[in-house]
């Protein structure tokens, strides 16, 4: 019974992370779409939300490497999946936070800032997806 409850809690947590990613993607898409008229379609909103959902689902709470390697190897290796997950999560949430700020304050930043937000979002989500894939392939 405990195993089922634990598994259910983990699935619920992962779905919550996916929804947070989708919401963040929606905020970035609304900001970018309001600045770049070519990106005002519902398809763009959906792609951004799906990217956020997949990125946050895979890239947060990745299985970590053991601190003490079993084969006697070096303990100084950097865990690439953990680093990519951390940087990707920080970058994606940072640009989502900026997007919400721009929307709430009704600001109209320069197109360069909007492009930087879009690039930051894509890089952050890509890092999360790669990190989650690496961590799950080695587990």
Cα Rg of the chain (Å, integer) = 17
Tokens 């900026």 correspond to 98
Please give the structure tokens belonging to residue 57: 């689902």
Q: Higher confidence at residue 138 or residue 57?
A: 57
Tell whether the model's pLDDT for residue 124 goes beyond 80. yes
User: In whole angstroms, what is the distance from residue 139 CA to residue 129 CA?
Assistant: 15
Distance in angstroms between the alpha carbons of the first and the last residue of the chain? 25
Q: Higher confidence at residue 62 or residue 91?
A: 91
* Global model pTM greater than 0.75: yes
Mean pLDDT, range 39-67, rounded to an integer: 88
Tell whether the model's pLDDT for residue 135 goes beyond 90. no
């Amino acid at each position: 019974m405990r195993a089922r409850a634990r598994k259910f809690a983990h699935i619920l947590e992962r779905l919550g992370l996916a929804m947070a990613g989708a919401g963040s993607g929606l905020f970035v898409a609304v900001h970018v779409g309001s600045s770049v008229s070519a990106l005002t379609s519902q398809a763009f909103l959906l792609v951004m939300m799906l990217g956020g959902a997949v990125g946050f689902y895979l890239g947060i709470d990745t299985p970590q490497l053991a601190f003490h390697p079993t084969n006697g190897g070096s303990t100084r290796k950097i865990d690439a999946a953990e680093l990519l997950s951390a940087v990707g999560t920080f970058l994606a949430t940072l640009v989502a936070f900026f997007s919400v700020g721009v929307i709430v304050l009704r600001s109209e930043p320069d197109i360069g800032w909007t492009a930087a937000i879009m690039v930051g979002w894509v890089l952050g989500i890509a890092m999360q997806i790669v990190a989650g894939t690496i961590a799950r392939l080695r587990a």
